[in-house]
Structure 1
Amino acid sequence: MKIYDDKHIKNVVFVGAHNSGKTTLAETMLFEAGLINRRGSVENKNTVSDHHEVEHERGNSIFATPLHTEWRNYKINIIDTPGLDDFIGEIISSIRVSDTILTVLNAQHGVEVGTEIIWNYIDKYHKPTIFVINQIDHLNAKFDESFQSIKSLVGNNAIKIQYPLTLEGAQCIIDVLKMKMYRFSPEGGKPEKLEIPDEQKELANRLHNELIEKAAENDETLMELFFDKGTLNEDEMRQGIKAGMLNHELFPIFCVSALKDMGTGRLMGFIDNVAPAAADMKPEQSVEGKEINAHKEGPTILFIFKTVYQPNLGQITFFKVMSGEVRLNDKLTNFRNDETETINQLFIMDGKERHPVTKLTVGDIGATLKLKFTETNDTLAAPNHSIQMKSIKFPHPRVRKAIFAVNTKDEEKLSESLKKIHSQDPTVAISFSKEGKQLVLSCQGDLHLATIEWALKHIYGVEARFEKPKIAFRETIQRSSTSNYRHKKQSGGSGQFAEVHLKIEPWTQNMEEPQGFNIRGKEEIDLSWGGKLLFYNCIVGGVIDQRYLPSIMKGILEVMENGPLVNSYIRDVRVMVYDGKMHSVDSNDISFKIAGAHAFKDAFLNANPKLLEPVLELTVKVPEEMVGNVMTDLQARRSMIQGIESNNSYQVLKCLTPEAELYGFSTDLRSLTQGRATFKSSFSSYQPVPTNVQKELVGH
């Protein structure tokens, strides 16, 4: 296979909302370049990109799939990504290693919620971006509305390179960069290249001049040429467009019918001639603050952006060559763990097909097998070149489920399988809830969850069941209370004896010290689960020996780890131990620990105990016409609306919602809004549970 240099390698990621046609466009590009003999289709489940069994079952892309094509002496690496934000991790990692983003829009819908979500990440990474309006031949295509929606998203720097035209029943595309018209047969394919019709010349010339001005704005030399000549030639325009794309200040717009192979060849030509290559991009920064230049002569540096586990192959590791070259049998160091990895195999991947190569140069994307110590986000580099690339920042999970092995014998296997899934997909989080005694799986949504369940069953051989996770309540008190407890046990020989008198009070920040006690010592404990315990030694006259006080506190802490209301952690309490009794023979640490625990529990139950629940900051972005239904649903979930902001044709609802009420919200929101709304949440604080809800939870 031909090896291309860094100036002739273009890395393009296809992004866009669900059903925008990304996979079909990728398939058509491979066909147009002659790399496949027959175009597959999503419906027939035979595209190069959507090759996973679970993708065939569900009928949509789930994984980001690296492909490549070759067009006019350039290599174009394509990463086809899913369109559903449940799989946002696949999209973000692909954006991270791309040099150009190709954002595909369905001409019937224009910019959708999924497009906007993805745009936020494109904008964050400041990546050069091309917009492609697909399905221009559809009866319900709305090119002008789609163009306006792009302008609403990115501003006036969106500029038409092309626009569609139906002429005498034939689908045509007017190209205002080349100032030509392409006319396609009903079957698509190679078009006729014609002069622009007279009735379109005025519009085409106006758009051509707008493009010249935009191109000139991005380069001082071009601006001077423009002032001197009043125009720019095609090569100069390309130079200016490329500069604008690199500055993230010019967004070219193309139109295609991927299904009919209309306009794809011209789009590939633009990617070749204009879209930036790795060599054009600004140097990346390492964690250590070093600049990483995309030079062939530099040290070998690979950034791992994706890992996949397949039963018949093991782990497949996908990487981008950030510097230097990588060759077969190279030994590289993972400086996260100081382990050495040997590149025993080297591939270019086209879906499930592996094409062996002997080396890959800077800017290229490749894969290797069976690395032992390397995961997504790791950096492999030549020995003695200690470096770590900045990690991909993945979004926080939105859906939580308690997960159990159907067969209890598989519990260890389940845990190991989930670790592998997390290492491949960092948007999956695994934690163990000590309070709920549950393994908790967190992910991006119900579709994401379904694919994890599928992988556990079909790839790892573990059948899992999911339940509503137990909520991490907290328990506290609302008033002071006193209690005493005598522990006495006699069973022949030395017995057990201890008596403890104590008072408890709610603790708040900056409150005064306890009144009416002779305070002889104080311990302030920051509890690992949040909040504080303040423990005061107020013993006078030596009625309890000092050495037993730590045991009393230990007994209190044991109760605080398993509160008497719903077995949740207790927080924000102060305890004054002020009296008691001991026995010269029968008193010991265990006796005072038991007495302290019982005295504290009795006092707690008499101090008007209160449950606290975790409350989340919830932000919901919803189309204007659907706000009413969503607000009704939120209010039914005990949400407190904090504010509403307008964002183009969407409303952003900001509210505080109890975590206990968010179970199933992802599914309900998708149903209420036909999948057009999105949300994110983060922990805000613990707040008191309403009395009626507490009665239901406690059972009285």
Structure 2
Amino acid sequence: MKVFDNKHIKNIVLLGSQKSGKTTLAETMLFEAGLINRRGSVENHNTVSDYHALEHEREGSVYTTLLHTEWRNYKINILDTPGLDDFVGEVISSVRVADTCVYLINAQYGVEVGTELIWNHVDELQKPTIFVINQLDHPKSNYDFALESLKEHYGSAVTPMQFPVNEGPGFNGIIDLLKMRYYKFGESGGKPEKLEIPELFREKAEKMHNELVEKAAENDEGLMELYFEKGTLSEDEMRKGLRLGMLNHDVFPVFCISAKNDMGSGRLMGFIDNVAPSAIDAMPEHDASGNVIPLKEDAPTELFVFKTRIEQNLGQLTFFKVVSGTLKEGMELVNQQNGQTERINQLFIIDGHNRNQVDTLGTGDIGATLKLKNTATNDTLGSEDLKSPVAPMEFPAPRLTVAITAANRSDEEKMTEVLHRLVAEDPTIDVHYSNELRQMLVGCQGELHLSVIKWILENMYDLNIDFETPRVSYRESITIPAESVYRHKKQSGGAGQFAEVHMKIMPYTEGMDDPQGFNIRDKQVIDLEWGGKLVYYNCIVGGAIDNRFHPSILKGIMEVLANGPVTGSYVRDVCVMVHDGKMHPVDSNDIAFKIAGTYAFKEAFMNAKPVVMEPINELEVYVPEELMGDVMTDLQTRRSIITGVDMKGNYQVIKAKTPVAELDKYTTALRSITQGRSSFKTKFAEYAPVSSENIAAMAVH
């Protein structure tokens, strides 16, 4: 297979809402280039891209699929992504390694929910972007509406390159404003006739062409001088200006196609070849220290792993981008995260489930290899003397967490193993066992994401599983000081047990002074593994209790902290002063003082006006302005405290503090309230007391 240099490699990612036509366009691009001899369809389950059984069942993309095509001496690597926000991890990794984002817009609807939500990731990385208005053959197609919605959302950078002729079921032509030609298609699409622009459209075309020339000239002083001098620019000069504008995120070209009828895809591919940034033009990667990694073929070889798939009959398939240097089959590279050496035994260019073996991949190219043992998504492979790995991708925290159990107990080990495989494939999934809640927890991005996890477990691994609402991690603490005296005495023949402990406890707050009125001999500040602190003071004078018994008293207290007296939840933020007691020269021992410490602490705790505390999360909800009222009303029913409202792009950002107990299934509720037009992220903020009216309804364990 031909090896391309980095000037002739174009890496594009297909983005857009569900049903915008990404997979159909990918299929058409492969067909146009002659890499397949017939086009499949999503409905017939025979496309190169959506090949997984799960995608056939859903008739939509769930995973990113890597493809490639060749067009006029250029190689175009294509990443076909899912259109649903639940699968955002696939989008983040694909956008990261792409050099140009190709955004599909359904001509019926214009900018949709999925388009809005995905844009945040594109905008953050400032990736060059092409908008493609698709499905212009649909009876309800409305190009003007779709174009206006783009301008409304993305501003003056939206730059029409074409407009359609005979839009709707009779769609068969495109006026190209760069080449100033009329492309007329036959009924089966494919290669069009290239004609003069009809008189009916000439005035509109000339006006839009002049606007395009001005837009191209704006991006370079030299081009602007030429434009003032000549009053126009040549096609090559316009291409240069458009490329610069795309790299600066100041130009978003807009194309017209019917991917289903193979109309306009060839012209789009030509523009990707001639104008869209190549691998060498694109923004370079940075290492973890922020230093630029040079895009040079004569530099040391360095790979960035952006995706991992585990195939049942194949093993681990690792997808990477060659960040610098040249990769050859048989090379040994060091994983910069763990120091392990990996041998690249096989190199592949991937087309769906087909693997095309190659010997070499150059800088900027994307490929895959098999059976790396110690390499995962976000890892960097390179020479031993690399100073720093590629800066890792950041994935969103889970927005939905459920408890999972295997219907058959004997399947629990297998279930856990499979879940950890899924985490290796999808970093937006979190799996861990909570010792506190005594539940296996699975975190994901929403109900659809969860349904995919369930499908995989049941259909690919024959596991019957159940999901449950997870218990809430409550905490216990105290609000006032309290004292106790507990004597443990046991006599049953021979040596007995005797210990007496005098104790005072009080609430702990960060930065507080040591308690007054005690002769403090020793102080231990213990950071509790479940959060908060225990401060233990040895205030014994006169040898009432030997120092050797304090570890036993503390051990008894720690057992109570791990199983609170009120609800069985963890206890946090308590100061304990052991200030007096008694012991017996024969009967006192470690067990006796542990028991005495346990019961003295429990008694003092119950007298200190104990309080149950619940976890509170910081919540940020991204919502269109017109839906703010509905979202805020719902938040208030969830005992939220609104802390502020900001603006980001086209979204209002509602900030709130919300009890974790009220966030169960919030992803589904928010999607219902806003018709899927909102997104949110959440993280732990603090523990706060549960109000008396909510304690009775609390799920304790």
TM-score by length of 1: 0.96
> Which residue of structure 2 aligns with residue 2 of structure 1?
2
Distance 1:460 1:339 in 2: 30
Paired position in structure 2 for 1:684: 685
CA distance in 1, matches of 2:247, 2:650: 29
Tell me the equivalent position of 1:508.
509
- Alpha-carbon distance change, 234 to 170 in structure 1, aligned in 2, over 3 angstroms: same
Question: Which is worse superposed, 75-84 or 562-571?
Answer: 562-571
Quote the Cα distance in structure 2 between the aligned partners of 1:346 and 1:509.
56
Pick closer, same or farther for the CA change 1:648–1:538 going to 2, 3 Å: closer
Shift of 1:387: 4.3
1:356 is the counterpart of 2:357 = yes
Residue 111 of structure 1 deviates from its aligned partner by: 1.7
Describe the superposition over 1:317-360 as per-residue Cα deviations: whole angstroms up to 9, x where unpaired: 11111122222222222122222212221111110011111221
Please name the residue that 1:90 is paired with: 90
| 8 Å contact from structure 1 (residues 212, 237) kept in 2 | yes
Measured after TM superposition, the shift of residue 219 of structure 1 is 1.9
Q: Is the 8 A contact 1:565 1:698 kept in 2?
A: no
1:654 CA displacement = 2.4
Give runs of aligned pairs for residues 645-664 of structure 1, distance below 5 A.
Answer: 645=646, 651-664=652-665
1:205 to 2:206 alignment: yes
The equivalent of 1:376 in structure 2 is 377
For each residue in 1:546-582, what CA deviation from the matched residue of structure 2 results, as whole angstroms up to 9, or x when unmatched? 2222221221122111112222111111122222111
How does 1:176-325 map onto structure 2 within 5 Å? 176-325=177-326
Q: Distance in 1 between matches of 2:90 and 2:65?
A: 9
1:102 counterpart letter in structure 2: V
Q: Deviations over 1:179-213 (max 9, x none)?
A: 11222334433222222222322322222122112
1:492 and 2:493 aligned: yes
The aligned amino acid for 2:115 is T
> d(CA) in 2 for partners of 1:109 and 1:392?
32
Amino acid at match of 2:87: F
Q: Which amino acid counterpart does residue 454 of structure 2 have in structure 1?
A: E
- Check 1:494–1:646 CA distance in 2 against 1; reply closer, same or farther (3 A cut): same
Q: Structure 1 pair 496/429, CA: closer, same or farther in 2 (3 Å)?
A: same
- Other-structure match for 1:123: 123
Task: Tell me the distance in 2 between the aligned counterparts of 1:324 and 1:528.
Answer: 45
Describe the shift of the 1:511–1:363 C-alpha distance in structure 2 as closer, same or farther (beyond 3 A).
closer
Match of 1:547 in 2: 548
Q: Provide the aligned C-alpha RMSD in A.
A: 2.1
Name the structure 1 match of 2:153. 153
- Where does residue 347 of structure 2 map in the other structure? 346
Once the 2 structures are TM-superposed, how far is the Cα of residue 586 of structure 1 from its aligned partner?
1.0
Residues 613-649 of structure 1 deviation map (CA, whole Å, 9 limit, x = unaligned): 1111222233455445434432322222334456677
Range 148-157 or range 26-35, more displaced: 148-157
Per the alignment, in what secondary structure is the counterpart of residue 550 of structure 1? helix
Alignment of 1:568-579 (within 5 A): 568-579=569-580
Label 1:697 to 1:213 Cα distance change in 2 as closer, same or farther (>3 A).
Answer: same
Kindly indicate whether the alpha-carbon contact (under 8 Å) linking 2:161 and 2:255 is maintained by their aligned counterparts in 1. Answer: yes
SS of residue in 2 equivalent to 1:559:
helix
* SS of corresponding position for 2:544: coil
Alignment of 1:545-694 (within 5 A): 545-645=546-646, 651-694=652-695
Q: Is the 8 A contact 1:152 1:648 kept in 2?
A: no
Deviation at 1:679, TM superposition (A): 1.5
Q: Within 2, Cα distance between the matches of 1:371 and 1:272?
A: 33
Larger mean CA deviation between 45-54 and 562-571 belongs to: 562-571
CA distance in 1, matches of 2:45, 2:356: 22
The equivalent residue for 2:24 is: 24
Contact 2:499–2:582 (8 Å) recurs in 1 = yes
The whole-number CA distance in structure 1 between the counterparts of 2:617 and 2:15 is 30
C-alpha spacing 1:659/1:622, structure 2 compared with 1 (3 Å) = same
Counterpart CA distance in 2 for 1:610 and 1:520 is: 30
Question: Contact 2:137 / 2:171 at 8 angstroms: preserved in 1?
Answer: no
Q: Which amino acid aligns with 2:677?
A: R
In 2 relative to 1, CA 677–177 (structure 1 residues): closer, same or farther, beyond 3 Å? Answer: same
Question: How many angstroms does 1:463 deviate by?
Answer: 3.3
C-alpha distance in 1 between matches for 2:333 and 2:646: 50
**Is the CA contact 2:136–2:167 (under 8 Å) kept in the aligned structure 1?**
no
Which moved further from structure 2: 140-149 or 686-695? 140-149
- Letter of the 2:90 counterpart: E
Structure 1 letter corresponding to 2:481: S
Displacement, 1:249?
Answer: 1.7
Q: 1:49-68 residue pairs with structure 2 within 5 A?
A: 49-68=49-68
Q: Give SS of 1:320's match.
A: strand
Moved more, 568-577 or 191-200: 191-200
Q: Unpaired segments of 5 or more residues in structure 1? A: none
Q: 1:698 to 1:263 in 2, by over 3 A?
A: closer
User: What whole-Å deviation, never above 9, does each CA across 1:130-153 have from its counterpart, x for those lacking one?
Assistant: 111111222222322322222233
Query: Identity of counterpart residues, as a percentage?
Result: 58
Amino acid at match of 1:234: E
1:71-110 correspondence runs (5 A):
71-110=71-110
Quote the Cα distance in structure 2 between the aligned partners of 1:671 and 1:300: 48
More displaced 10-residue stretch of structure 1: 15-24 or 663-672: 663-672
CA shift, 1:510, in A, is: 4.2
Once the two structures are superposed, what CA deviation does each residue of 1:476-526 show, in whole Å capped at 9, x if it has no partner? Answer: 112222222111222332222111111222222344543443333332223
> What is the distance in 2 between the residues matched to 1:39 and 1:316?
26
Q: Distance in 1 between matches of 2:497 and 2:58?
A: 66
Q: Counterpart amino acid of 1:372?
A: K
Q: Larger deviation: 540-549 or 640-649?
A: 640-649
- Of 182-191 and 397-406, deviating more is 182-191
Contact 2:298 2:325 in 1 (8 A): yes
- The reply on whether 1:420 has 2:440 as its aligned counterpart is no
The equivalent of 2:175 in structure 1 is 174
Relative distance call for 1:656 and 1:59 in structure 2 (3 A) is: same
The answer for unaligned runs of 5 or more in structure 2 is: none
How many pairs does the alignment contain?
Answer: 700
Amino acid across the alignment from 1:445:
G
Contact 2:567 2:700 in 1 (8 A): no
Task: Report the alpha carbon displacement of residue 699 of structure 1 after superposing the two structures with TM.
Answer: 8.2
Shift of 1:652: 3.5
1:124-178 Cα shifts (integer Å, max 9, x gaps): 1121111111112222223223222222333211111112232895532221111
Relative to structure 1, the CA distance from residue 699 to residue 294 in structure 2 (aligned partners, 3 Å threshold; closer, same or farther) is closer
1:585 CA drift (Å): 0.8
Retained in 1: the 8 A contact 2:136–2:171?
A: no
Name the counterpart of 1:336.
Answer: 337
1:13-34 CA deviation, whole Å, 9 max, x = no partner?
Answer: 0011111111111111111212
Q: Secondary structure at the match of 2:437?
A: coil
